[in-house]
Amino acid sequence: KQHHMSPRTQQLLYCDVSNTVQFTSKMSHANDSIHDEAQDDRFLEILMVSSLSTIPSCVFLYINGIMLFTLRSKAVFCETARYILLYNLLFAETVQLVLSQVLFLLAADRVIMTYPLCGFLTQLANLTTTISPLTLVVMSVERYVAVCYPLRHADIVTVRNTGVSIILIWMFSFLDVLFRVLLLLEVLVEELQSRQMKNYCSSTSMFVGPISHAYSKAFTCFVFTSAGVAIISSYIGVAAAARSASADKASAHKARNTLLLHLVQLGLSLSSTVYSPLLIALSTVVVRVVFVRIQTLVYMFIFIVPRCLSSLIYGLRDQSIRPVLMFYLCCRLRVSVVKVKSEVSSSA
């Protein structure tokens, strides 16, 4: 038997089908609009985060570059132990600033890298992170010798001994990196076959096993605790020497301020180790939009600003560096002023 639908039923069925098609088309259009809006929001978010971090980084890199050039512009800077050590410190912090910014931008853009490339960048960052506190220790010991043993300072703190100290600092830091790589290779044998990471590149993402994580915490604690003890001991020794009648009061006072500055720098370097745990804690209590903004601010104050404070503080504080640094920083401004004056005088 064939069932024939009435014209009224056919009309209702046609209307239902037509409404369903229209509803589906509207929903598809709405989904496309939402997807486009989400992509636009994501692009604006990446642009804002990248701009807020990149512009200050470029400014600070310029200042650090001028400072490094200044420390190689005069013979006295190349032949004095504390300036050689300062150059090593600024070089390590400049490299660390570049690597931190590269890793931050890659994470903000959600770029998934391969294990070898990520391992190279993170281990290079670990290398420079270890160099900074160790250099501060040697700089503190140099100030201690200068105040407590002024007659033997020239014999103990020589250019050759300073170079040996810098080589030992780099060797010790490289051994730490080598041990980290061996731990990674032991755990990531199966992961490295695919080479592709499952998350964005960071130092935390390379902690793939409990041994690697425990070693990182123990080594960081050892380095910064030892550095803190060395700097505080040097400060106590300088303070005790300053009370003696034969001590140079002005030199001892300046050395104490320098050691306090080293201690502050050590604390700023140590603050970078709490970056990842702090973000993990914040991600559980704030929404994503607020988290992105807080992450950018925390990154700027923990990674970017401390890497430039050394150049500004030492450059403006040291009487020998300040005029040379200001000359190179304001060179173009002075040249332009001279040109304007010459043009005005010639026209007159």
User: In this model, does residue 336 exceed pLDDT 60?
Assistant: no
Fold (CATH) for 53-322:
Rhopdopsin 7-helix transmembrane proteins (1.20.1070)
Instruction: Give the pTM.
Output: 0.79
Residue pair 241/147 in contact (Cβ under 8 Å)? The answer is yes
342-348: Cβ within 8 A, 24+ apart: none
**pLDDT tens across 60-87, in order?**
888 888 888 888 888 888 888 989 999 9
Q: Write the burial class of residue 176 (CB in 10 Å: 0-12 exposed, 13-18 middle, 19+ buried).
A: buried
**pLDDT tens across 157-172, in order?**
899 999 999 999 999 9
Closest CA to 318 of 268, 264, 257, 275: 257
- Residue 337 or 195, more confident: 195
